[in-house]
Chain A
Amino acid sequence: MINLLFFGRLGDFAKAVPSTLEASTPAEARELLAADFPDLGRELYEPQVLVSVNKMIVPWDQPLFEGSEVAFLPPVTGG
């Protein structure tokens, strides 16, 4: 199982989404989420959305392990 986090506006689309999932890459997690939650799926496939695993930005095909923390990150707007 991996743990899911959604930040910024993605959080609004992920209110009904379970916090854990079975997936071997972030790309697979995104695919599974999009199948069950099409509105969230559309947001996750936006090219500007980045993914991090255990707080490091990674490519979408990064292998995941038991307990990996996968976070979906929309464009940042701090400062």
Chain B
Amino acid sequence: MTSRIRIQQQDFDLAEEYELLRQTDSAVGAVVTFSGLVRDFEVEADVGVEDVTCAKKSIDSLSLQHYPGMTEKLLEAIVEQANTRWNLIATTVIHRVGDLAPREQIVLVGVASQHRAEAFEAAQFLMDYLKTQATFWKSIRRDNQQQWIHSKASDKQAAERWSRSKDE
């Protein structure tokens, strides 16, 4: 399996990344890509239950911190797990760090495989694990004030369902 892992400040080109996945091998029959963007609002979610009654708060920008050297290793391990579970031909994980404005791209996960089921599933698995295991921390800026984002219980649950389905 070919894997591309990048942590970078600069933007990425979805079409270019898709093309790289597509051209990896002539056995590629499916390419799934997911891109995550900066929203112009954040719902205040405390650790535990997500508060649905809490109003959406608009944000000016978002900032992403990571642990250089460790994040790469964790992403490699996550990709390796995906490759063990599914028969994948190529994967791409790109995560941006630094200051990002609403509408900007944050993250890209791309998977190329022979058939669509494994590409869909592996892409979702990669995102779920990236969200809960990779050492990135997000803060928002609003009215010149910085505020760290809380982890979401729903992200943890999303990742946990993969360990359940393995036992079934």
Residues of A participating in the B interface, judged by any CB pair closer than 8 Å: 5, 7-9, 12, 48, 52, 55, 71, 73-79
Measured as residues with beta carbon below 8 angstroms from the partner, the interface class of chain B is 20 to 34
| Bound: A19/B28 CA distance, A | 49
**Contact indicator A79/B127 (Cβ below 8 Å):** yes
With A8-B65, A48-B151: A76-B134 Cβ-Cβ less than 8 Å: yes
B152 to chain A, nearest CB (A): 8
B77 to chain A, nearest CB (A): 11
| Bound: A77/B148 CA distance, A | 9
| Bound: A74/B106 CA distance, A | 20
Q: What DSSP secondary structure best describes chain B's contact surface?
A: mixed
A8 to chain B, nearest CB (A): 4
Chain A residues within an 8 Å CB radius of B59: none
Chain A residues within an 8 Å CB radius of B64: 78
A77 to chain B, nearest CB (A): 4
